Structure 1
Amino acid sequence: MPVTRDFGGVVLRFVPAKMRHMARRFDPTLPALGRLGQMEVRLARNAAEVKAAQQLRYRVFYQEMAAQPSKLQKMTRRDRDGFDRWCDHLLVIDHGLGGPLARRIVGTYRLMRQEAAALAGGFYTQQEFDIAPMLARHRGKRFLELGRSCVLKEYRGKRTVELLWQGIWAYVLMHDIDVLFGCASLAGTDPEALAVPLSFLKTNAPAPAEWQVRAHDHRGTFVSDSAESVDARRALAVMPPLLKGYLRLGGYIGEGAVVDHQFGTTDVLVVLPRVNIKTRYIDYYGADAGRFAA
């Protein structure tokens, strides 16, 4: 039988491990969420497509970037963890490419709803940030964790990014999501070398009290207050496009940053209440996510 645990006043129901294998199901009839020319965005429809997304993540995180694979990851050439089976996997597919589907997946994003986190034993983000108080303050709201975003280098342009956001917005509407959140990464593991962008984020996008989230004390590094003005141009120049996109949409940044030595990054926590999303972006993608509708 399911059991319950209390996370800062938020009670989640968990399914015992021996029952969990029955919980994950794919829907092969799911329609595409959007199209631009020969490119399509949709959710993975079977385990083989999730495997292909994990292979793409390996290519980007471990072969192109600085992540350090485990022996198993190196052997299988897949970036995977225990959360994958409980998540939906958003895929951008270029049908103009030849070969099997696995070679046509050019971008991916991992999506975990709160009910899936209950099955998984929590959100991935909880390993780095104390999100329990935020969940407790907003009982009844539907949370969606975003993570493991990656796009092949040759596809890191406006079209792919627009399709990913089209897919996320359609998913938000489909599941009536209230709050999006997740870790966003800055390249490098030396917080002092990242002091300019971290100070900029702390100064320009701090979360108000109701959305405050703090890095776990045993993992976090905290930027000290400075009376000096932060060079916005320098900060934005080294900030990844994904993080700048969250800020443009109306996202907040939690307190503290966490160094992830495996991935060679320093992570910050982004919280984006749906009501914050700027009207111009809703108008652009469509109140019904119809701009790039399939």
Structure 2
Amino acid sequence: MKQTPPDTLEIGAILADAGFSSLAGQILGRMGSLIVRIADNPDTIRIAQKLRYDVFYTELGAQKSQNTILEERDSDHYDAICDHLVVYDTSISGGEAEQLVGTYRLMRSDMLAAGHTFYSAGEYEITKLLERKPGLQFLELGRSCVKPEYRSKRTVELLWQGIWSYCRQHRIEVMFGCASFHGTVPEAHALPLSFLHHNCRADAEWDVRALEQHYRSMDIVPQEAINPKVALFSMPPLIKGYLRLGAMIGDGAVVDHQFGTTDVLIVLPVERISSRYINYYGAEADRFV
């Protein structure tokens, strides 16, 4: 259930709090005319929410609440405590609303007030993972979206430049979050889901199971019947990008009827990221942090 978003003054007050990212407003990456940074004011967050609305609701057909229809923004109570990574195309004339072409929502474990938990905990047993790994700094990645004409490898790499700069600054040790297949019938994605189940499952140290009431098996096709090339070809680019970095997949899929998706849980300890990507993104991060 969506909750009424905080007003501009509330967002502004939280952004001004000393616990928020010291990277707010700073450029974290650049590729040609594209730049990525952390939102540093309520208006930018509202523009990012409008982009999310355009992608999730208008383009992909998520179910709209009354507030969503009135506001024409995708928003919830987590937005006020999260950092918002935003991508701009500086070659576009006009204001910020025209230039902002992509966004990612970032929530660190030290942003959570006592007794509160991450967004993904509504689908997966995140609390159990946190209890097994006390003292680690977790980062939840979510609400990723990019304008259709910017859905390219270059934009994805720029987003990861920004994320890696952010991780370096905040000493993130584990990244995680839900990634989605379009549609609410897991069997329609039997091949890629089964590939993830058989080949990419998290080991016992990092495994996280879907909540029992939401659990849908990903073991749909026997391993011997899976063509890996076909499975990877039919997988969403975001999930393939996570796998390249060394991510693992949690136990079970979850159907999100509001957003019209079938979700899987991504778990990525920073120590598992391959040296190839550490060197690549680390070199870029050194330029901006």
Shorter-chain TM-score above 0.5: yes
**Could you say which residue in structure 1 is the equivalent of 2:5?**
none
Closer, same or farther: CA 120–60 of 1 in aligned 2, 3 Å: farther
Distance 1:260 1:37 in 2: 36
Question: What residue identity is the alignment partner of 1:102?
Answer: A
**Counterpart contact for 2:161–2:281, Cα < 8 Å:** yes
Closer, same or farther: CA 224–204 of 1 in aligned 2, 3 Å: closer
**Could you say which residue in structure 1 is the equivalent of 2:165?**
170
Question: Is 2:177 the counterpart of 1:182?
Answer: yes
Question: Is 2:281 the counterpart of 1:289?
Answer: no
**Counterpart contact for 1:251–1:273, Cα < 8 Å:** yes
**Could you say which residue in structure 2 is the equivalent of 1:104?**
99
Where 2:144 maps in the other structure, the secondary structure is: strand
Distance 2:26 2:37 in 1: 7
Closer, same or farther: CA 145–162 of 1 in aligned 2, 3 Å: same
Structure 2 spans left out of the alignment, 5+ residues: 1-9, 17-21
**Counterpart contact for 1:83–1:120, Cα < 8 Å:** no
Distance 1:38 1:109 in 2: 19
Distance 2:152 2:241 in 1: 13
Q: 1:136 aligns with which of 114, 117, 131?
A: 131
Distance 1:272 1:23 in 2: 32
**CA shift for structure 1 position 286:** 2.3
**Counterpart contact for 2:15–2:40, Cα < 8 Å:** no
Query: How many percent of aligned residue pairs carry the same amino acid?
Result: 53
Structure 1, residues 198-254: CA drift from partner, whole Å, max 9, x if none? 100011101000001000000111134735331222221221111000001000000
Query: Which structure 2 residues correspond to residues 215-254 of structure 1 after superposition, within 5 A?
Result: 215-224=210-219, 226=222, 228-254=224-250
Question: What residue identity is the alignment partner of 1:249?
Answer: L
Question: Is 2:15 the counterpart of 1:25?
Answer: yes
Which structure features the higher share of strand residues? 1
Question: Is 2:289 the counterpart of 1:261?
Answer: no
Distance 2:144 2:69 in 1: 20
Where 1:286 maps in the other structure, the secondary structure is: helix
Distance 2:57 2:284 in 1: 37
**Counterpart contact for 2:12–2:42, Cα < 8 Å:** no
Question: What residue identity is the alignment partner of 1:169?
Answer: W
Distance 1:76 1:288 in 2: 37
Question: Is 2:51 the counterpart of 1:67?
Answer: no
Structure 1 spans left out of the alignment, 5+ residues: 1-19
Which structure features the higher share of helix residues? 2
Structure 1, residues 49-102: CA drift from partner, whole Å, max 9, x if none? 000000000111111112122121122110001111010000001111111112
**Could you say which residue in structure 2 is the equivalent of 1:84?**
79
**Could you say which residue in structure 2 is the equivalent of 1:93?**
88
**Counterpart contact for 2:201–2:249, Cα < 8 Å:** yes
**Could you say which residue in structure 1 is the equivalent of 2:276?**
280
Question: What residue identity is the alignment partner of 2:275?
Answer: T
Question: Is 2:155 the counterpart of 1:160?
Answer: yes
Question: Is 2:118 the counterpart of 1:123?
Answer: yes
**How many residues end up aligned between the 2 structures?**
274
Question: What residue identity is the alignment partner of 2:66?
Answer: K
Distance 2:177 2:282 in 1: 24
Question: What residue identity is the alignment partner of 1:166?
Answer: Q
Structure 1, residues 140-190: CA drift from partner, whole Å, max 9, x if none? 110000000000000011221111000000000000000000000011101
Structure 1, residues 267-291: CA drift from partner, whole Å, max 9, x if none? 0000000001111111112257136
**Could you say which residue in structure 2 is the equivalent of 1:151?**
146
Closer, same or farther: CA 174–205 of 1 in aligned 2, 3 Å: same
Q: TM-score, normalised by structure 1?
A: 0.88
Closer, same or farther: CA 287–96 of 1 in aligned 2, 3 Å: closer
